[in-house]
Amino acid sequence: MSKLPGNAGVSLLGDKTLDFYRDPVIFCRQRIEKHSSRVFLCRLINKPTVFICSVEGMRELLCGEEACLLRLSLNHLFTGTCLESSSNYMSSVCDHCLKNLSISEQPQSVYSIFKRLGAELVLGLFLNVRAEDQPEVFQEIMELCTEHWHGLISVPVTVKVPLWTSGFAKALDARSKLMEIIKDKLENDTEGFVGALGSLPFPNAGSAAQHLLLLISALIPKALASLLTSFTLALGGPEQRESRQEAIRNPDHLHRVLLEVQRLWPPFIGGRRIAEKESTLADFCVPKDYGAVYVSYFIHRDPEVFQQPDSFLPERWSGRNAGQEHLLCSFGNGPRSCIGSTLTEIFIKEVCRYLLKKYDWCLDPPSQDFQYKWLPVSRPANLPSVSFTRLDQTVSE
C-alpha cells in the first residue's frame, strides 16, 4: 500500500473547509495537479480527509457493502406499480408548469421554473399536496421547506433577539412545523406514497416522518432544476435543433444526452463517509476515523475512463462508454445510490419529452455567463434566461 499524497495539516490551522466550499472544482484541480494523483489527503471539517476524484476510487468507496434491510423495505415504494401510478401526475405537473413558456414572448428564468416544477412534483407525489387543489397549503409547505434548507446551510448558531432571528434558528422552527404537518399526514392519509410509507414497520415512531422530511426538502427540487437547466442549455439554439429532433424520434438518443448532461454537470458535487476501521482505497492506506469524500465532477471527467472528458459528446454512450452508466455517481453509486434515482430519471425524461415536443428554444440574450457554482447544488451562478417558441408556431411561420 502506498502513502496518501498530500497532508492533513494540524487541527484547525490546517483546515481547508473554507477553501473547498469557496470553489470545490478549483480546490481539487489544484491538488490533482500538485500531487499528480486523483486521490489525495487534506483536512476538511477539521478531520483528515481523503479526496476521491477517480472512477476506480469511487467504486471502491461506494460499492463495498450490501444494502441494509431498511433500504430494501423502502425500495418497493420507488419501483413497479408505485412508479406507474405516478405517471399521470407527472404529466399533469409538466403541463401545469410548462404550457405557457412562450406566451409572454419574453425570456424565461428556466432554473426558477424548473425548481417550482420540482416542488410541485415532490409535494404531490410524497405528501399528497397538489398545488392546483390546495394552493395555500402547498405555498406554506414550500416556504417552510425553503426556510428549513437555507437555514441548515447557514452558520449553525441559534440566536433569537428582538427584531432578529438567526437563519439556523429559523430552520429549526421551520423543521418543527414541517414535522407537525408530516406526522398529521402519516396518521390520517392512507392514500399514495405517504399512506404506504406510514404502513411500513419502522424501528421507531419518528423514522417515517424523518424519511418524509428528507424527501420533501428543498434539496430535491433544486437537484431536478439543476439537471433540467443543464439539459436546456446543452440542447438550446439552432445548432442543436437536429439533436433535439433526434431526441424526440429516438428515446436512446435522449437517454444518451441525459447521461452526458449528468456526467458534465452533476447536481451534487459528491458525498462523504468516515472510515470505521483502517482500510485500503485505490491502493492507499486510509487510517481509522479519516473522512473520505468522492468528488463527482472529477470522477465524471476521469480521463482513464472518459476520452475528451470536458466535451459534451452524447455519442460516447453508444461507443466506448456503452453500458457504463454505473460509473456515474451523481446520485451515489452501488448499494449507496439514491433510492429514488429511478423515479428521478423517469420524471426528468417526462419533462424533457414535453419540452422537445412542444418547443424550440434558445439563449436570450445569446451571450451569457454560464460559470457554474457547485454548492450546495450545482447551477450557473448567474441564472440563465431562455426564450421558447412553440413548435406549431415555428411550423406556421
Please give the sequence-ordered ranges of beta strands (E in DSSP) within the chain, or none if there are none: 39-44, 47-52, 108-109, 160-161, 164-165, 270-274, 279-281, 284-286, 291-295, 359-363, 372-373, 379-380, 385-390
Torsional sign, CA 52, 55, 60, 62? positive
Task: With beta carbons less than 8 A apart as the criterion, state whether 49 and 290 touch.
Answer: yes
User: Helix, strand or coil for residue 326?
Assistant: helix
Task: With beta carbons less than 8 A apart as the criterion, state whether 69 and 63 touch.
Answer: no
Determine the Cα–Cα distance for residues 322 and 336; give it in Å rounded to an integer.
Answer: 23
Residue 63 counted as an annotated binding residue: no
In angstroms, the Cα distances linking 241 to 232, 234, 259 are 12, 11, 19
In this structure, what C-alpha cell is assigned to residue 365? 440574450
Determine the Cα–Cα distance for residues 257 and 39; give it in Å rounded to an integer.
Answer: 29
Amino acid present at 162: P
SS3 per residue for 104-163: CCCCEEHHHHHHHHHHHHHHHHHHCCCCCCCHHHHHHHHHHHHHHHHHHCCCCCCCEECC
DSSP state of 324: -
Determine the Cα–Cα distance for residues 163 and 107; give it in Å rounded to an integer.
Answer: 38
| Residue 159, phi-psi category: left (phi > 0), alpha (psi -120 to 50), beta (remainder) | beta
Q: Name the nearest CA neighbour of 299 among 271, 278, 322, 280.
A: 271
Please report, in range form, the residues annotated as the binding site.
Answer: 338
Please report, in range form, the residues annotated as the binding site for heme.
Answer: 338
